Amino acid sequence: MKTVISSALQQAKQLVRAQNVIEATRVIQRALSGSSRAPLSQAQLPDRSRSSEPQTNGAGASKVFELPSQDAGMTSASARDAIAEGLPAARMKRPLGEVLKLLRQTELPRFDPDLAPLLKFRKVPQVPVPDGAAYLARTFACEAGSRDYTIYVPNCKTRRKRPLIVLLHGCTQNPDDFAVGTGINWLAEEYGFIAAYPGQAVRANQSSCWNWFKPEDQQRGIGEPSIIAGITRTIMTEFEIESGRVYVAGLSAGGAMAAIMSATYPELYAATAIHSGLAYGSASDMASAFAAMRGGSRPVAPAQGKRHHKSTNGHGRTIVFHGAADQTVHPSNAEIILADARAGLTGPPRETQQEGSAGGRAYRRTVIADARGVPHVEYWSIDGLGHAWSGGRPEGSYTDQHGPDASREMLRFFLGSQVKTLAR
Please indicate, yes or no, if residue 306 is contained in any of the structural domains.
yes
Last residue of a domain, one of 86, 121, 156: 121
Please indicate, yes or no, if residue 421 is contained in any of the structural domains.
no
How many residues belong to the chain? 424
Say what the pTM is: 0.73
Please indicate, yes or no, if residue 361 is contained in any of the structural domains.
yes
Please indicate, yes or no, if residue 304 is contained in any of the structural domains.
yes
Q: Same domain for 155 and 54?
A: no
Return per-residue pLDDT of the chain as tens, 424 residues. 546 666 777 776 666 555 555 566 666 656 655 544 444 444 444 443 333 332 333 333 333 333 333 333 333 344 444 444 444 433 344 444 444 444 444 433 333 444 444 444 456 788 999 999 999 999 999 999 999 999 999 997 777 899 999 999 999 999 999 999 999 999 999 999 999 999 999 999 999 999 999 999 999 999 999 999 999 999 999 998 988 999 999 999 999 999 999 999 999 999 999 999 999 999 999 789 989 999 976 666 554 544 444 433 345 899 999 999 999 999 999 999 998 888 878 777 789 999 999 999 999 999 999 878 888 999 999 999 999 999 999 999 999 999 999 999 999 999 987 777 777 5
Q: Same domain for 50 and 148?
A: no
Please indicate, yes or no, if residue 422 is contained in any of the structural domains.
no
Q: Same domain for 208 and 242?
A: yes
Q: Same domain for 25 and 89?
A: yes
Range of the domain at 333: 134-415
Identify the DSSP state of 6. Answer: H
Q: Same domain for 76 and 168?
A: no
Three-state secondary-structure class, residue 223:
helix
Q: Same domain for 380 and 300?
A: yes
Whole-number Å distance between alpha carbons of 327 and 69: 8
Last residue of a domain, one of 65, 98, 121: 121
What's the CATH code of the domain at 336? 3.40.50.1820
Q: Same domain for 192 and 335?
A: yes
Please indicate, yes or no, if residue 128 is contained in any of the structural domains.
no
Q: How many domains does the chain have?
A: 2
**Nearest 5°: CA angle at 187, between 183 and 189?**
120
Q: Same domain for 196 and 115?
A: no
Q: Same domain for 100 and 140?
A: no
Q: Which H or E run includes 358?
A: strand 350-358
Please indicate, yes or no, if residue 423 is contained in any of the structural domains.
no
Q: Same domain for 188 and 101?
A: no
3-state DSSP percent of the chain in helix, strand and coil, to 5: 35, 20, 45
Q: Same domain for 248 and 386?
A: yes
Last residue of a domain, one of 121, 147, 176: 121
Please indicate, yes or no, if residue 391 is contained in any of the structural domains.
yes
Q: Same domain for 194 and 79?
A: no
Q: Which H or E run includes 206?
A: none
